[in-house]
Amino acid sequence: MIENILTASVFASAIRLATPYMFAGIGEMFGQRSGVLNLGLDGIMLMGAFCGYYAALTTGNLALAVLAALGVGAAMGLVMALVCVILKAEQGIAGIGMYLFGLGMSELLFQQLVGTPRAIDGFPRLPIPILSEIQFLGIGEIFFNHNLLVYVAFALVPLALFVLNRTPFGLMIRAVGQNPAAADAMGIKVARVRIITVTVGGMLAGLAGASLSVALLKVFQQNLTSGLGFIAVALVYFGRWRPIGVLIGALLFSFVNALQLQMSAIGIDIPAEFAVMAPYVITLLALIFASKGTDKPTALTKPFDRGG
């Protein structure tokens, strides 16, 4: 029974499902570490998903699709940063506004430019030579038989770790998030750091959307993300604002989803409501434990006023 449930395909499915959470979560982590909360992630993802999809649909050029998603994500991230950092607007409200903008604009653009869902070729599977053929424990299928964006998402984890913990800019990010006044006194440009992190976060959210429309699903439809961006925000809390934590959270959430799908697929009769709520319950439990930690950026959601 267990061998029919815990198959290689289940773990591979978990990794695919985790990909958009990884992109969006890592990006949001940078922003939150610098003290800015962006609840507009889902809206940015939707715009990234549409722009990437439309570029792929009209040109067939996947690199252009990725650039389009990155570009629109950066633009929206920059707007969010200007609103929250320069204008010092309430971050939660600004994020909701960004989400509604992305939701509505992506729907409008889709209706006007495409009309009805149309499939695209998208990113194909890219088996890693030799590694994808490892049969032992299904390792080859689980880790090395995915599309390019899956590999990029997981490569982000060590990259984010390096940037955050081994670079001067990473130190600035952490300092700004913990004590912006002290960071400012040391000559760090608090506003500049926050604008950069939120813009980068927007780029990665756009790429998260494209990972859905151009890679995993190869189609666009209104509200494609279905609230996925909000889960990504929660995963940052779950992961205690650390790249490894975001990775673990994304994989855990996705694995539980993949597991309940597998059980349904092989005819194991579990209440559908229980199966669907399980990932959220586990995430909530993890959040409870995460809230006991002291890793939360002290200045999160607090605008910095130099004179204040």
Amino acid identity for residue 29 in this structure: M
Closer Cβ to other proteins, 179 or 221, answer by number: 221
Closer Cβ to other proteins, 36 or 120, answer by number: 120
217 binds other proteins (CB under 8 A): yes
Site for other proteins in 195-214 (CB under 8 A): 212
Q: What is the rounded CA–CA span in Å between residue 233 and residue 30?
A: 11
Neighbours of 3 (CB within 10 A): 6
Closer Cβ to other proteins, 81 or 216, answer by number: 216
Q: What is the rounded CA–CA span in Å between residue 160 and residue 241?
A: 11
69 binds other proteins (CB under 8 A): no
Q: What is the rounded CA–CA span in Å between residue 161 and residue 177?
A: 16
Site for other proteins in 274-303 (CB under 8 A): 275-276
267 binds other proteins (CB under 8 A): yes
Q: What is the rounded CA–CA span in Å between residue 61 and residue 32?
A: 33
Q: What is the rounded CA–CA span in Å between residue 268 and residue 238?
A: 30
Given 188, 262, 286, 299, the residue binding other proteins (CB under 8 A):
262
Q: What is the rounded CA–CA span in Å between residue 76 and residue 44?
A: 7
Closer Cβ to other proteins, 244 or 266, answer by number: 266
- Pull the structure tokens for residue 69: 């998603």
Closer Cβ to other proteins, 147 or 197, answer by number: 147
Residues that bind other proteins in the complex, under the rule CB under 8 A: 7, 9-10, 13, 16-17, 20, 107, 110-111, 115-119, 212, 216-219, 221-224, 226, 228, 257-258, 261-262, 264-267, 272-273, 275-276
